[in-house]
A and B are shown apart, each in its own frame.
Chain A
Protein backbone atom coordinates (compact mmCIF):
# COMPACT_ATOMS: atom_id res chain seq x y z
CA UNK A 1 0.00 0.00 0.00
CA UNK A 2 1.35 3.39 -0.92
CA UNK A 3 -0.53 6.41 0.36
CA UNK A 4 -0.25 9.92 -0.96
CA UNK A 5 1.30 12.17 1.67
CA UNK A 6 -0.60 15.01 3.27
CA UNK A 7 0.63 18.35 1.88
CA UNK A 8 2.75 20.63 4.03
CA UNK A 9 1.80 24.24 4.70
CA UNK A 10 3.73 27.26 5.88
CA UNK A 11 4.53 27.53 9.58
CA UNK A 12 3.03 31.03 9.30
CA UNK A 13 3.79 34.10 11.42
CA UNK A 14 2.33 32.96 14.74
CA UNK A 15 4.39 29.95 15.78
CA UNK A 16 6.46 31.77 18.40
CA UNK A 17 4.13 31.11 21.30
CA UNK A 18 3.75 27.44 20.34
CA UNK A 19 6.87 25.78 18.97
CA UNK A 20 9.72 27.40 20.94
CA UNK A 21 10.15 26.13 24.48
CA UNK A 22 12.56 26.66 27.34
CA UNK A 23 15.91 25.14 26.46
CA UNK A 24 14.91 24.39 22.88
CA UNK A 25 18.23 25.60 21.42
CA UNK A 26 20.46 24.30 24.19
CA UNK A 27 21.22 20.67 23.39
CA UNK A 28 23.78 21.10 26.13
CA UNK A 29 24.14 24.00 28.58
CA UNK A 30 26.56 26.52 27.03
CA UNK A 31 28.94 26.08 29.97
CA UNK A 32 29.40 22.36 29.20
CA UNK A 33 33.01 21.40 28.39
CA UNK A 34 33.23 21.02 24.64
CA UNK A 35 30.04 22.98 23.97
CA UNK A 36 30.03 25.02 20.77
CA UNK A 37 27.64 27.44 19.18
CA UNK A 38 26.16 26.31 15.88
CA UNK A 39 24.89 29.64 14.68
CA UNK A 40 24.19 31.74 11.64
CA UNK A 41 21.80 34.05 9.86
CA UNK A 42 18.86 33.12 7.64
CA UNK A 43 18.51 35.37 4.57
CA UNK A 44 15.83 35.93 1.95
CA UNK A 45 16.34 36.46 -1.77
CA UNK A 46 17.01 40.18 -1.30
CA UNK A 47 19.73 39.46 1.23
CA UNK A 48 17.55 40.62 4.12
CA UNK A 49 17.69 38.62 7.34
CA UNK A 50 14.55 36.61 8.13
CA UNK A 51 13.34 37.30 11.67
CA UNK A 52 10.57 34.70 11.64
CA UNK A 53 12.27 31.48 10.63
CA UNK A 54 12.56 28.33 12.71
CA UNK A 55 15.58 26.04 12.42
CA UNK A 56 15.75 22.50 13.72
CA UNK A 57 18.82 20.30 13.97
CA UNK A 58 19.15 16.57 14.51
CA UNK A 59 22.59 15.16 15.01
CA UNK A 60 24.70 12.29 16.24
CA UNK A 61 26.63 12.41 19.50
CA UNK A 62 30.35 13.32 19.47
CA UNK A 63 31.18 9.60 19.27
CA UNK A 64 28.92 9.18 16.23
CA UNK A 65 26.12 7.44 18.09
CA UNK A 66 22.59 8.06 16.83
CA UNK A 67 20.59 8.70 19.99
CA UNK A 68 17.04 7.73 20.83
CA UNK A 69 16.81 9.57 24.14
CA UNK A 70 13.63 11.37 25.17
CA UNK A 71 13.89 14.69 26.95
CA UNK A 72 14.35 17.25 24.17
CA UNK A 73 11.26 19.19 25.32
CA UNK A 74 12.15 19.11 29.02
CA UNK A 75 15.91 19.34 29.17
CA UNK A 76 17.43 17.93 32.33
CA UNK A 77 20.84 19.48 31.67
CA UNK A 78 22.79 16.27 31.20
CA UNK A 79 20.92 14.08 28.72
CA UNK A 80 22.11 14.70 25.18
CA UNK A 81 19.17 14.01 22.83
CA UNK A 82 20.62 15.25 19.54
CA UNK A 83 17.58 17.40 18.72
CA UNK A 84 17.28 21.16 18.95
CA UNK A 85 15.00 23.94 17.75
CA UNK A 86 15.84 27.65 17.41
CA UNK A 87 13.69 30.50 16.15
CA UNK A 88 15.55 33.33 14.49
CA UNK A 89 15.86 36.61 16.35
CA UNK A 90 14.94 40.07 15.07
CA UNK A 91 18.21 40.24 13.16
CA UNK A 92 17.68 36.85 11.49
CA UNK A 93 20.27 35.07 13.59
CA UNK A 94 19.88 31.75 15.32
CA UNK A 95 22.18 29.86 17.66
CA UNK A 96 22.31 26.41 19.20
CA UNK A 97 24.51 25.34 22.06
CA UNK A 98 25.57 21.82 21.23
CA UNK A 99 28.39 19.33 20.83
CA UNK A 100 30.17 18.60 17.57
CA UNK A 101 28.66 15.46 16.03
CA UNK A 102 31.03 12.63 15.23
CA UNK A 103 31.03 10.53 12.06
CA UNK A 104 28.41 7.79 12.27
CA UNK A 105 30.71 5.41 10.40
CA UNK A 106 34.48 5.23 10.08
CA UNK A 107 35.65 7.69 7.45
CA UNK A 108 32.22 9.33 7.05
CA UNK A 109 31.80 13.09 7.07
CA UNK A 110 29.91 14.31 10.11
CA UNK A 111 26.97 16.65 9.60
CA UNK A 112 23.96 18.19 11.27
CA UNK A 113 20.63 17.39 9.59
CA UNK A 114 18.87 20.75 9.32
CA UNK A 115 15.23 21.65 8.70
CA UNK A 116 14.11 25.18 7.86
CA UNK A 117 10.65 26.65 8.39
CA UNK A 118 9.58 30.28 7.92
CA UNK A 119 6.65 32.52 7.32
CA UNK A 120 6.40 32.75 3.54
CA UNK A 121 8.08 29.38 3.06
CA UNK A 122 5.20 27.13 2.03
CA UNK A 123 6.84 23.85 2.98
CA UNK A 124 9.84 22.86 5.06
CA UNK A 125 13.30 22.64 3.53
CA UNK A 126 15.99 20.13 4.42
CA UNK A 127 19.71 20.67 4.22
CA UNK A 128 22.92 19.52 5.92
CA UNK A 129 25.53 21.47 7.81
CA UNK A 130 28.78 19.54 7.45
CA UNK A 131 31.41 19.76 10.15
CA UNK A 132 34.63 21.18 8.64
CA UNK A 133 38.08 19.81 9.26
CA UNK A 134 38.21 16.21 8.08
CA UNK A 135 39.20 16.91 4.48
CA UNK A 136 39.46 13.26 3.50
CA UNK A 137 35.98 12.46 4.77
CA UNK A 138 34.49 15.55 3.14
CA UNK A 139 36.19 14.73 -0.17
CA UNK A 140 34.76 11.22 -0.04
CA UNK A 141 31.21 12.30 0.84
CA UNK A 142 28.69 11.20 -1.76
CA UNK A 143 26.33 14.12 -1.37
CA UNK A 144 29.05 16.77 -1.47
CA UNK A 145 30.58 15.11 -4.51
CA UNK A 146 27.23 15.28 -6.30
CA UNK A 147 26.87 19.05 -5.77
CA UNK A 148 28.37 21.52 -8.23
CA UNK A 149 31.68 22.72 -6.85
CA UNK A 150 30.66 26.38 -6.65
CA UNK A 151 27.65 25.55 -4.47
CA UNK A 152 29.32 22.99 -2.20
CA UNK A 153 30.41 25.60 0.35
CA UNK A 154 26.76 26.34 1.17
CA UNK A 155 26.66 22.96 2.93
CA UNK A 156 29.79 23.49 4.98
CA UNK A 157 29.73 25.05 8.43
CA UNK A 158 32.68 27.37 9.04
CA UNK A 159 34.73 27.28 12.23
CA UNK A 160 34.81 30.59 14.11
CA UNK A 161 35.47 31.88 17.60
CA UNK A 162 32.12 30.64 18.90
CA UNK A 163 32.10 27.25 17.26
CA UNK A 164 30.54 26.72 13.86
CA UNK A 165 28.82 29.24 11.66
CA UNK A 166 26.18 28.10 9.16
CA UNK A 167 24.28 30.77 7.24
CA UNK A 168 21.18 29.79 5.30
CA UNK A 169 20.11 31.60 2.14
CA UNK A 170 16.64 30.69 0.92
CA UNK A 171 17.13 32.29 -2.49
CA UNK A 172 19.64 34.05 -4.67
CA UNK A 173 23.12 33.74 -6.11
CA UNK A 174 24.57 31.82 -3.19
CA UNK A 175 21.35 30.00 -2.35
CA UNK A 176 21.84 27.13 0.09
CA UNK A 177 21.64 23.65 -1.44
CA UNK A 178 18.37 22.18 -0.19
CA UNK A 179 17.67 18.49 -0.38
CA UNK A 180 15.01 16.28 -1.90
CA UNK A 181 14.88 12.77 -0.52
CA UNK A 182 13.49 10.07 -2.80
CA UNK A 183 9.82 9.44 -2.06
CA UNK A 184 9.50 12.69 -0.15
Chain B
Protein backbone atom coordinates (compact mmCIF):
# COMPACT_ATOMS: atom_id res chain seq x y z
CA UNK B 1 0.00 0.00 0.00
CA UNK B 2 1.25 3.45 -0.86
CA UNK B 3 2.76 5.36 2.04
CA UNK B 4 2.02 8.89 3.14
CA UNK B 5 5.59 9.78 2.15
CA UNK B 6 4.89 8.62 -1.42
CA UNK B 7 1.65 10.62 -1.58
CA UNK B 8 3.31 13.68 -0.08
CA UNK B 9 6.10 13.43 -2.67
CA UNK B 10 3.50 13.35 -5.47
CA UNK B 11 1.67 16.33 -3.99
CA UNK B 12 4.92 18.28 -3.64
CA UNK B 13 6.00 17.54 -7.21
CA UNK B 14 2.65 18.65 -8.65
CA UNK B 15 2.71 21.87 -6.68
CA UNK B 16 6.30 22.60 -7.76
CA UNK B 17 5.28 22.10 -11.41
CA UNK B 18 2.32 24.37 -10.85
CA UNK B 19 4.48 27.12 -9.39
CA UNK B 20 6.89 26.90 -12.32
CA UNK B 21 4.01 27.19 -14.79
CA UNK B 22 3.18 30.71 -13.62
CA UNK B 23 -0.49 30.31 -14.59
CA UNK B 24 -2.82 30.89 -11.66
CA UNK B 25 -5.35 28.16 -10.86
CA UNK B 26 -8.28 28.87 -8.57
CA UNK B 27 -10.23 25.60 -8.75
CA UNK B 28 -9.21 22.01 -8.02
CA UNK B 29 -7.61 19.88 -10.68
CA UNK B 30 -9.87 17.07 -11.76
CA UNK B 31 -6.83 15.10 -12.88
CA UNK B 32 -5.03 14.71 -9.58
CA UNK B 33 -3.45 11.23 -9.22
CA UNK B 34 -2.51 11.52 -5.50
CA UNK B 35 -6.29 11.32 -4.91
CA UNK B 36 -6.47 7.80 -6.29
CA UNK B 37 -10.24 7.72 -6.86
CA UNK B 38 -9.90 10.60 -9.32
CA UNK B 39 -7.77 8.62 -11.77
CA UNK B 40 -10.66 7.02 -13.68
CA UNK B 41 -13.18 9.71 -12.82
CA UNK B 42 -11.87 12.83 -14.53
CA UNK B 43 -12.49 13.90 -18.11
CA UNK B 44 -9.40 13.74 -20.27
CA UNK B 45 -10.77 16.06 -22.95
CA UNK B 46 -10.95 19.81 -22.46
CA UNK B 47 -14.22 21.14 -21.15
CA UNK B 48 -16.21 22.55 -24.04
CA UNK B 49 -16.96 26.26 -24.06
CA UNK B 50 -20.67 27.00 -23.74
CA UNK B 51 -22.50 30.27 -23.40
CA UNK B 52 -25.18 29.72 -20.79
CA UNK B 53 -28.65 29.81 -22.28
CA UNK B 54 -32.19 30.12 -20.96
CA UNK B 55 -32.64 27.50 -18.24
CA UNK B 56 -28.94 27.73 -17.33
CA UNK B 57 -29.37 31.41 -16.53
CA UNK B 58 -31.82 30.57 -13.76
CA UNK B 59 -31.49 28.50 -10.63
CA UNK B 60 -34.00 26.29 -8.88
CA UNK B 61 -36.06 28.19 -6.34
CA UNK B 62 -36.31 27.00 -2.76
CA UNK B 63 -38.53 28.50 -0.09
CA UNK B 64 -39.86 28.08 3.41
CA UNK B 65 -41.94 25.20 2.10
CA UNK B 66 -38.65 23.37 1.54
CA UNK B 67 -36.61 24.14 4.64
CA UNK B 68 -37.59 24.26 8.31
CA UNK B 69 -35.52 26.91 10.17
CA UNK B 70 -34.74 24.26 12.80
CA UNK B 71 -32.73 22.34 10.20
CA UNK B 72 -29.95 24.90 10.64
CA UNK B 73 -29.31 23.60 14.16
CA UNK B 74 -27.58 20.21 14.01
CA UNK B 75 -27.47 20.00 17.81
CA UNK B 76 -31.23 19.70 18.38
CA UNK B 77 -32.18 16.89 16.03
CA UNK B 78 -32.37 14.24 18.77
CA UNK B 79 -33.49 13.95 22.37
CA UNK B 80 -30.08 14.71 23.88
CA UNK B 81 -27.10 16.97 23.35
CA UNK B 82 -24.46 15.67 20.93
CA UNK B 83 -20.94 15.11 22.26
CA UNK B 84 -18.23 17.52 21.19
CA UNK B 85 -17.29 21.15 20.79
CA UNK B 86 -20.46 23.12 20.10
CA UNK B 87 -19.76 25.66 17.39
CA UNK B 88 -21.45 28.11 15.08
CA UNK B 89 -20.42 28.50 11.46
CA UNK B 90 -21.73 31.54 9.66
CA UNK B 91 -20.94 33.60 6.61
CA UNK B 92 -22.27 34.98 3.38
CA UNK B 93 -22.83 33.49 -0.06
CA UNK B 94 -22.04 36.01 -2.79
CA UNK B 95 -21.49 35.86 -6.54
CA UNK B 96 -18.35 36.90 -8.36
CA UNK B 97 -19.46 40.52 -8.35
CA UNK B 98 -19.94 40.45 -4.58
CA UNK B 99 -23.72 40.47 -4.84
CA UNK B 100 -25.52 38.48 -2.14
CA UNK B 101 -27.14 35.21 -3.17
CA UNK B 102 -30.48 35.73 -1.46
CA UNK B 103 -33.00 33.17 -0.20
CA UNK B 104 -31.06 30.30 -1.68
CA UNK B 105 -30.48 26.78 -0.38
CA UNK B 106 -27.36 25.80 1.59
CA UNK B 107 -26.93 22.15 2.60
CA UNK B 108 -24.20 20.78 4.87
CA UNK B 109 -23.12 17.36 6.10
CA UNK B 110 -20.28 16.26 8.32
CA UNK B 111 -18.76 13.65 10.61
CA UNK B 112 -19.39 13.75 14.34
CA UNK B 113 -16.86 14.87 16.95
CA UNK B 114 -15.19 11.46 16.81
CA UNK B 115 -14.72 11.59 13.05
CA UNK B 116 -17.54 9.16 12.24
CA UNK B 117 -20.24 9.62 9.64
CA UNK B 118 -23.63 8.07 10.18
CA UNK B 119 -23.31 6.76 6.61
CA UNK B 120 -23.44 2.96 6.46
CA UNK B 121 -20.32 2.87 4.31
CA UNK B 122 -18.28 4.54 7.04
CA UNK B 123 -16.69 1.65 8.92
CA UNK B 124 -14.22 3.76 10.92
CA UNK B 125 -14.37 2.25 14.43
CA UNK B 126 -15.06 5.56 16.15
CA UNK B 127 -18.30 5.87 18.08
CA UNK B 128 -21.54 6.94 16.48
CA UNK B 129 -23.30 9.64 18.48
CA UNK B 130 -26.99 8.83 18.95
CA UNK B 131 -27.64 12.55 19.30
CA UNK B 132 -25.93 13.64 16.11
CA UNK B 133 -26.87 12.98 12.51
CA UNK B 134 -24.66 15.60 10.91
CA UNK B 135 -26.89 17.10 8.23
CA UNK B 136 -28.24 20.63 8.06
CA UNK B 137 -30.03 22.95 5.66
CA UNK B 138 -30.90 26.61 5.58
CA UNK B 139 -31.92 29.36 3.22
CA UNK B 140 -29.66 32.39 2.97
CA UNK B 141 -31.16 35.65 4.20
CA UNK B 142 -31.62 38.87 2.22
CA UNK B 143 -27.92 39.63 2.62
CA UNK B 144 -26.78 36.17 1.51
CA UNK B 145 -26.07 35.19 5.10
CA UNK B 146 -26.25 31.66 6.46
CA UNK B 147 -25.75 30.31 9.97
CA UNK B 148 -25.52 26.78 11.35
CA UNK B 149 -25.07 25.58 14.90
CA UNK B 150 -23.30 22.25 15.05
CA UNK B 151 -20.49 20.23 16.63
CA UNK B 152 -16.93 20.53 15.44
CA UNK B 153 -16.25 17.44 13.29
CA UNK B 154 -13.24 15.23 13.95
CA UNK B 155 -10.61 14.12 11.44
CA UNK B 156 -11.03 10.58 10.14
CA UNK B 157 -9.04 7.89 8.34
CA UNK B 158 -9.76 6.83 4.77
CA UNK B 159 -8.41 4.32 2.31
CA UNK B 160 -6.53 6.42 -0.24
CA UNK B 161 -3.17 5.21 1.10
CA UNK B 162 -1.65 3.81 4.28
CA UNK B 163 -2.42 5.95 7.35
CA UNK B 164 -4.44 8.46 5.31
CA UNK B 165 -6.42 10.97 7.40
CA UNK B 166 -8.77 13.69 6.23
CA UNK B 167 -8.50 17.07 7.93
CA UNK B 168 -11.71 17.95 9.78
CA UNK B 169 -14.20 19.47 7.37
CA UNK B 170 -17.84 20.27 6.72
CA UNK B 171 -19.30 19.55 3.27
CA UNK B 172 -21.25 22.43 1.73
CA UNK B 173 -23.68 22.25 -1.19
CA UNK B 174 -24.57 25.60 -2.75
CA UNK B 175 -26.85 27.06 -5.39
CA UNK B 176 -26.50 30.49 -6.94
CA UNK B 177 -28.80 32.68 -8.96
CA UNK B 178 -28.07 30.64 -12.06
CA UNK B 179 -27.52 26.93 -12.54
CA UNK B 180 -23.96 27.43 -13.76
CA UNK B 181 -23.02 28.49 -10.22
CA UNK B 182 -24.00 25.17 -8.66
CA UNK B 183 -21.23 23.82 -6.51
CA UNK B 184 -20.24 21.43 -3.74
CA UNK B 185 -17.19 22.06 -1.61
CA UNK B 186 -15.68 21.49 1.83
CA UNK B 187 -14.93 23.94 4.61
CA UNK B 188 -11.86 23.35 6.77
CA UNK B 189 -10.61 24.68 10.09
CA UNK B 190 -7.62 26.97 10.54
CA UNK B 191 -4.21 25.51 11.28
CA UNK B 192 -5.07 21.86 10.62
CA UNK B 193 -1.82 19.82 10.68
CA UNK B 194 -3.29 17.42 8.10
CA UNK B 195 -3.56 20.02 5.31
CA UNK B 196 -0.17 19.25 3.77
CA UNK B 197 -0.87 15.52 3.80
CA UNK B 198 -4.36 15.48 2.34
CA UNK B 199 -4.68 14.80 -1.40
CA UNK B 200 -8.27 16.11 -1.48
CA UNK B 201 -7.48 19.51 0.03
CA UNK B 202 -4.39 19.58 -2.18
CA UNK B 203 -6.40 19.03 -5.39
CA UNK B 204 -6.37 22.82 -5.27
CA UNK B 205 -2.76 23.38 -6.28
CA UNK B 206 -2.64 27.08 -5.43
CA UNK B 207 -1.93 27.92 -1.78
CA UNK B 208 -3.98 31.13 -1.83
CA UNK B 209 -6.93 29.30 -3.37
CA UNK B 210 -6.70 26.55 -0.75
CA UNK B 211 -6.93 29.16 1.98
CA UNK B 212 -10.33 30.15 0.58
CA UNK B 213 -11.57 26.79 1.86
CA UNK B 214 -10.51 27.54 5.43
CA UNK B 215 -12.87 29.21 7.89
CA UNK B 216 -11.67 31.94 10.25
CA UNK B 217 -12.09 31.71 13.99
CA UNK B 218 -14.20 34.74 14.96
CA UNK B 219 -14.54 35.62 18.63
CA UNK B 220 -17.46 37.89 17.79
CA UNK B 221 -19.33 34.80 16.59
CA UNK B 222 -18.31 32.87 19.68
CA UNK B 223 -20.91 33.25 22.42
CA UNK B 224 -20.43 33.46 26.18
CA UNK B 225 -20.44 30.06 27.88
CA UNK B 226 -22.12 28.46 24.85
CA UNK B 227 -20.36 27.91 21.51
CA UNK B 228 -17.22 28.78 19.59
CA UNK B 229 -17.68 30.66 16.33
CA UNK B 230 -16.25 30.41 12.83
CA UNK B 231 -16.85 32.58 9.82
CA UNK B 232 -16.64 31.38 6.23
CA UNK B 233 -17.74 33.39 3.23
CA UNK B 234 -18.38 31.62 -0.06
CA UNK B 235 -17.91 33.19 -3.48
CA UNK B 236 -19.71 31.46 -6.32
CA UNK B 237 -18.43 31.60 -9.85
CA UNK B 238 -19.40 34.76 -11.72
CA UNK B 239 -22.97 35.61 -12.58
CA UNK B 240 -23.87 36.38 -16.18
CA UNK B 241 -27.50 37.21 -15.86
CA UNK B 242 -28.19 40.84 -16.45
CA UNK B 243 -31.07 42.57 -14.81
CA UNK B 244 -32.48 43.48 -18.23
CA UNK B 245 -33.89 40.05 -18.85
CA UNK B 246 -37.59 39.40 -18.43
CA UNK B 247 -38.74 37.68 -15.27
CA UNK B 248 -39.91 34.12 -15.73
CA UNK B 249 -43.54 33.28 -15.36
CA UNK B 250 -45.19 32.00 -12.19
CA UNK B 251 -42.92 33.34 -9.48
CA UNK B 252 -45.11 32.17 -6.67
CA UNK B 253 -42.31 32.32 -4.11
CA UNK B 254 -43.30 31.76 -0.55
CA UNK B 255 -40.13 33.27 0.85
CA UNK B 256 -40.42 36.74 -0.61
> Do A and B interact?
yes
Tell me, yes or no, whether B117 is within 8 Å of chain A by CB.
Answer: yes
Tell me, yes or no, whether B50 is within 8 Å of chain A by CB.
Answer: yes
Bound CA span A147–B122, Å:
41
Tell me, yes or no, whether A11 is within 8 Å of chain B by CB.
Answer: yes
Bound CA span A183–B236, Å:
10
Tell me, yes or no, whether B140 is within 8 Å of chain A by CB.
Answer: no
| Chain B interfacial residues counted at CB < 8 A | 87
- Chain B min CB distance to A62 (Å): 13
B54 to A122, Cβ gap below 8 A? no
Contacts of A67 in B (CB 8 A): 61, 248-250
Tell me, yes or no, whether B204 is within 8 Å of chain A by CB.
Answer: yes
- Chain B min CB distance to A153 (Å): 14
Contacts of A143 in B (CB 8 A): 48, 50-51, 53
- Mark A157-184 against chain B: 1 for CB-CB distance below 8 A, else 0: 0000000000000111001111111111
Contacts of B60 in A (CB 8 A): 58, 72, 81-83
A70 to B183, Cβ gap below 8 A? no
A14 to B109, Cβ gap below 8 A? yes
B182 to A56, Cβ gap below 8 A? yes
- Chain A min CB distance to B15 (Å): 15
A14 to B66, Cβ gap below 8 A? no
- Looking at A12, A13, A146, the one whose CB has the most chain B CB atoms below 10 A away is A12
With A11-B171, A123-B30 as given contacts, are A72 and B62 in contact (CB-CB < 8 Å)? yes
Contacts of A17 in B (CB 8 A): 109, 117-119, 133-135
Contacts of A19 in B (CB 8 A): 107, 109, 173
Tell me, yes or no, whether B131 is within 8 Å of chain A by CB.
Answer: no
Contacts of A101 in B (CB 8 A): 55
- Chain A min CB distance to B49 (Å): 6
Contacts of B54 in A (CB 8 A): 60, 66, 104-105, 108
Contacts of A6 in B (CB 8 A): 183, 185, 212-213, 234-236
A180 to B50, Cβ gap below 8 A? yes
Question: Which stretch (A30-38, A44-52, A132-140) binds chain B?
Answer: A44-52
Instruction: Give the nearest-CB partner of B252 in chain A.
Output: A69
B32 to A182, Cβ gap below 8 A? no
Bound CA span A12–B122, Å:
12
Tell me, yes or no, whether B90 is within 8 Å of chain A by CB.
Answer: no
A182 to B240, Cβ gap below 8 A? yes
A122 partner, pick from B42, B48, B109, B180, beta carbons under 8 A: B42
- Mark A136-157 against chain B: 1 for CB-CB distance below 8 A, else 0: 0000001100110000000000
B184 to A9, Cβ gap below 8 A? yes
A8 partner, pick from B51, B183, B238, B253, beta carbons under 8 A: B183
- Chain A min CB distance to B225 (Å): 30
With A67-B248, A70-B62 as given contacts, are A125 and B133 in contact (CB-CB < 8 Å)? no
With A70-B255, A72-B62, A142-B51 as given contacts, are A5 and B237 in contact (CB-CB < 8 Å)? yes
A18 partner, pick from B61, B66, B171, beta carbons under 8 A: B171
B118 to A5, Cβ gap below 8 A? no
Bound CA span A82–B21, Å:
42
Bound CA span A120–B238, Å:
25
7 contacts between A and B (CB under 8 A): A7-B210, A72-B62, A113-B179, A122-B32, A126-B179, A172-B44, A182-B240
Q: Which residues of A contact B (CB under 8 A)?
A: 1-19, 44-46, 48, 50, 56, 58-60, 65-74, 81-83, 101, 104-105, 108, 111, 113, 115, 117-126, 128, 142-143, 146-147, 170-172, 175-184
Beyond the given pairs A14-B121, A70-B64, A126-B182, 15 more chain A to chain B contacts, judged by CB atoms under 8 angstroms and listed by A's residue number, are: A2-B97, A7-B26, A16-B119, A17-B118, A45-B41, A45-B44, A66-B55, A72-B60, A81-B60, A101-B55, A104-B53, A122-B30, A122-B38, A142-B51, A183-B96
